[in-house]
């Protein structure tokens, strides 16, 4: 059963063009010029119940606009979408009680109050029974290691602690769908790891459907089996993370360790040398040639060890968007 279904979703924005100068400012009072741009262009996909899907794209690719439409914050220009059987932008109460959105660059908690006070407000908004509220809050706070931070002003929390509290606030009403928009942005390595572990565990235990957008490839690689790649508002890939490598990575990475020193010039004909010292070298080799090149190396050079790896996902994504 599909929890999220999106068909030909398009969102076009119109912005006012203002020319510099006083005369043009006066002119624009009577005759305004506008420019239209498409943030999301004919997007279609489906997500099953309990899936955790990564959505990748450069800044301005359209990821956040898609999430805002799926959460009902934006109305599309054309196309249809359903989340849990509801049309999101109709914003029915039954729909709003069953989803949550966490945006890493936006605060949902009251800045000058302890997080616990914001949680009490959420309890009333979502009509969470007292026993359920206490049980969920204690459980989430313990799993995220912020039990001793709930009564500290949000403004006094570290960024990592604040993001953990944002997650608690979003999950208290046990949503069936969660949209996580850059939840680890700006966090240190330790905080990123803690949030990743929690999201993976929460998805596994609750079978909650999650869409995750992130600029950090570690988030996607460690959490998502499926990725949707967005470029200029359109989907250019939707499938398994391993399939992304196969479709867009034309090369593999060959690393060789030598028992004796070799000359760099002797390796130049094999492929693109990315790292070299007389006792070790790394080369990018076309996928179709990797077996023959590896065999050639074993026959021509004093090889102590040889490894063949996929090009890092982050390099592939960077290459796609640069292209």
Q: Which of 224, 246, 268 is the last residue of a domain?
A: 246
Q: Which of 246, 280, 295 is the last residue of a domain?
A: 246
Confidence (pLDDT) at 147? 94
Verify that 210 and 287 share a domain, yes or no. Answer: no
CATH number at residue 43: 3.40.50.300
| % of the chain at pLDDT higher than 90 | 54
Cβ contact 275:281 at 8 Å: yes
Q: Assess whether 139 and 279 both reside in one domain.
A: no
Least confident of 73-82, 115-124, 198-207, 241-250: 241-250
| CB 57, CB 230: distance < 8 Å | yes
* Bigger pLDDT: 303 vs 14: 303
**108 and 80 assigned to the same domain:** yes
CATH assignment of the domain containing 277: 3.30.70
Q: Write out the two tokens for 269.
A: 């004909």
159 with 271, same domain: the answer is no
Residue 29 has pLDDT above 70, yes or no: no
Q: Comparing C-alpha atoms, which of 100, 243, 257, 228 is closest to residue 175?
A: 100
Residue-wise pLDDT tens digits, 263-302: 888 888 888 898 998 889 999 998 888 999 999 999 889 9
pLDDT for position 35: 81
The reply to whether 92 and 233 lie within a common domain is yes
Looking at the chain, the whole-number percentage of residues with pLDDT higher than 70 is 96
Q: Both 80 and 221 in a single domain?
A: yes
Q: Is the pLDDT of residue 11 over 90?
A: yes
pLDDT recorded at residue 323: 64
Same domain, 258 and 168: no
Residue that is last in its domain, among 246, 265, 281: 246
- Residue range 42-90, pLDDT digits in tens: 999 999 999 999 998 877 888 999 999 999 999 999 999 999 999 999 9
Q: What is the pTM of this model?
A: 0.80
pLDDT at residue 190 in the model: 85
CA 171 – CA 262 distance, rounded (Å): 58
Q: Are residues 143 and 66 in the same domain?
A: yes
Domain shared by 241 and 254, yes or no: no
Q: How many domains does the chain have?
A: 2
Residue range 83-127, pLDDT digits in tens: 999 999 999 999 999 999 998 767 788 889 999 999 999 999 999
Shared domain for 200 and 141, answered yes or no, is yes
Q: Which domain holds residue 276?
A: 250-322
**pLDDT above 90 for 149:** yes
pLDDT at 44: 97
Residue 214: pLDDT band with limits 50, 70, 90: confident
pLDDT tens, position by position, 152-189: 999 999 988 999 999 999 999 999 999 998 888 878 88
Give the DSSP per-residue string, 269-301: TTSEEEEEETTEEEEEEEGGGHHHHHHHHHHHS
Mean of all residue pLDDT scores within the chain: 88
């Amino acid at each position: 059963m599909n929890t999220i279904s999106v068909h030909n979703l398009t969102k076009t924005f119109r912005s006012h063009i203002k020319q510099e100068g006083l005369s043009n400012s006066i002119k624009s009072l009577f005759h305004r010029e506008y420019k239209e741009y498409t943030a999301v262009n004919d997007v279609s996909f489906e997500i099953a119940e309990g899936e955790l899907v990564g959505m990748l794209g450069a800044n301005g690719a359209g990821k956040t606009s898609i999430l805002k439409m799926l959460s009902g914050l934006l109305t599309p220009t054309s196309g249809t979408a359903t989340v849990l059987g509801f049309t999101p932008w109709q914003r029915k109460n039954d729909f709003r009680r069953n989803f949550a959105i966490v945006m890493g660059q936006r605060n949902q908690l009251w800045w000058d109050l302890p997080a616990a006070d914001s949680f009490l407000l959420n309890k009333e908004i979502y009509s969470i029974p007292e026993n359920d509220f206490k049980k969920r809050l204690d459980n989430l706070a313990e799993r995220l290691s912020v039990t001793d931070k709930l009564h500290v002003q949000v403004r006094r929390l570290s960024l990592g602690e604040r993001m953990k509290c944002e997650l608690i606030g979003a999950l208290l009403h046990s949503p069936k769908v969660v949209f996580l928009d850059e939840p680890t942005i700006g966090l240190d390595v330790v905080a990123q790891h803690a949030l990743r572990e929690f999201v993976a565990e929460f998805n596994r235990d609750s079978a909650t459907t999650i869409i995750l957008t992130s600029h950090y490839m570690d988030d996607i690689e460690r959490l998502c089996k499926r990725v949707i790649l967005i470029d200029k508002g359109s989907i250019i890939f939707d499938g398994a993370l391993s399939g992304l490598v196969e479709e867009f990575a034309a090369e593999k990475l060959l690393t060789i360790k030598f028992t004796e020193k070799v000359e760099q010039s002797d390796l130049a004909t094999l492929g693109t040398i990315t790292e070299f010292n007389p006792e070790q070298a790394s080369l990018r080799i076309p996928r179709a040639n990797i077996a023959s090149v590896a065999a050639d190396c074993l026959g021509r050079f004093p090889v102590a060890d040889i490894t063949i790896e996929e090009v890092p996902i982050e390099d592939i994504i960077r290459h796609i968007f640069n292209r």
